[in-house]
A and B are shown apart, each in its own frame.
Chain A
Amino acid sequence: MGQQPSTPKITAQDRAIFQLKQQRDKLKEYQRRLTFVIDKQTNLARQALKNNQPDRAKFYLRSKKQQESTIVKTCEQLDNLEGLIGTIEFKLIEKDVIYGLEQGNKVLKKLNNEMKIEKIDKILDDLEDEKLKVDEIGDALGMGSGLSKSEEIEVDEEFEKLDQEVNGIKEQPKKDDVVVPDLPEAPQVGILPDAPRQSLEEAQKQEEEENKDKQAQTYEPIAS
């Protein structure tokens, strides 16, 4: 009765590893036992020598040697088992990795399916259409959201005029500063008057502005 927390599941692989590990433990225990026997036999051999029983001592030593070689063999088997356990555990991890890749791939595919290029084009087209509709409605109601393009251009012009008023005056002394060091001192005062130069620049700017107006006019039909 009552709630039992879910217990971790034991899989077939767990069982396999468990069995291998049990074998490994048994081998280790066996090694321990052999080491114990070897120690005992060394002592027995020593005692036999003391009791002047060389044959007996030799017998003990021989049997000790045998145990030792058995230990070496069990070590090899242990190596095998450990190797196998390691391989299985690594394979399990690889399996997880592959599963992860598979899942990731699935998700990516699904996402890519949702984002077919034609579909996106269509959505963008639709969006454009809807935008146009919004503009149309805005125009029809005579209160477009924001300014029309021609109005935008007028703003730009005004901005440039203001810019000239504010910054243009400041720029001029700068230009003079740049020019002054290059020219010889004496002729500068008398020979070149300032006035004609300014009028030239103004004329140029006016021309530019006229050009812009023309350009703006050519854009307008496309915009509306």
Chain B
Amino acid sequence: MTTEFTFPKIHSFPPLYTKQPNATILSNQLDSWSQIVLQYCEYYKITSMTLHGTPKVSQLDVNLESLPSLFQNKTINRTVNSDLQTSIFNHLIHKLNKAEYINPKKPDLGIYIYWRTIVEWAQLLYDFVDKSGQLGTVLTLYELTKSEDSGVPESLRNLDEALLIKVLKEVLIKQGKAQLLMTEEGEIGGVKIV
């Protein structure tokens, strides 16, 4: 990644870092933050984050620690406190449906950020398998995400396997378009998409 993400101007607006008491203004504030989170994650292809806004998994081959921090603005010396962070993520999860707990029973594991919804991910995946004439053949999760020579489009490359499995389970299998294959160790290792 050569150029850094440029935050929108509002990211340097000090009041944005204090939870607003007025409900309407708060709602606007949370909307603004949600937009920033989504843009930030899309830019760095971050598919999941911790509850503190630290990137967990990205499709890009970058050092996640080197990315500019999302909830901290050093130039204006402001940081989003954890209460507001929780509100922002709750807004993303429950209001906008643009995020989801990785494991609802263990919220500490972090959340998926859906700058692309899982239905859209499923569509991308299905289109690729269809166009490459691989409908009805068995594909390993490895070749769907990591393999260099399987012709996977850039948009799908290096996709978090956990998210990929979620996409398969919650969309394609429900549509009757996919079936999972287990490895000998009992893990999900492959999928047949028809």
Interface of A is mostly: helix
Option from B138, B176, B177 in Cβ contact (under 8 Å) with A14 = B138
Asked if B64 CB lies within 8 Å of chain A CBs, one says: no
Counting chain A residues whose Cβ lies within 8 A of the other chain, the interface size class is 10 to 19
Question: B143 at interface (Cβ–Cβ under 8 A)?
Answer: yes
Q: Which residues of B contact A21 (CB under 8 A)?
A: 138-140, 143, 190
Closest Cβ neighbor of B142 among chain A residues: A25
Chain A residues with CB below 8 A from B140, complex form: 18, 21-22, 25
Contact bitstring B111-151, A, C-beta under 8 A = 1, else 0: 00000000000000000000000001111101100010000
B26 adjacent to chain A (CB < 8 Å): no
CB-nearest residue of chain A relative to B173?
Answer: A7
Question: Is A218 an interface residue when CB atoms closer than 8 A count as contact?
Answer: no
Q: How many residues of B contact A (CB 8 A)?
A: 22
From known contacts A8-B179, A9-B179, infer whether A25 and B192 are also in contact, taking CB-CB under 8 Å. no
> Residue A56 at the B interface, CB < 8 A?
no
Tell me the smallest distance from the CB of A86 to a CB of chain B, in Å.
Answer: 11
B194 proximal to A (CB < 8 A): yes
Asked if A28 meets B179 with Cβ closer than 8 Å, knowing A7-B173, A17-B138, A22-B190, the reply is no
Q: How far is the CB of B176 from chain A (nearest CB, A)?
A: 3
Q: Chain A interface (Cβ within 8 Å of chain B)? A: 5-10, 14-15, 17-18, 21-22, 25, 28-29, 89
- Please, could you name 14 A-B residue pairs with CB atoms under 8 Å apart, sorted by A? A5-B176, A7-B176, A8-B136, A9-B179, A14-B138, A18-B138, A18-B181, A18-B190, A22-B142, A22-B189, A25-B140, A25-B142, A25-B147, A89-B137
Measured CB to CB, the residues of B under 8 A from A are 136-140, 142-143, 147, 173-179, 181, 183, 189-190, 192-194
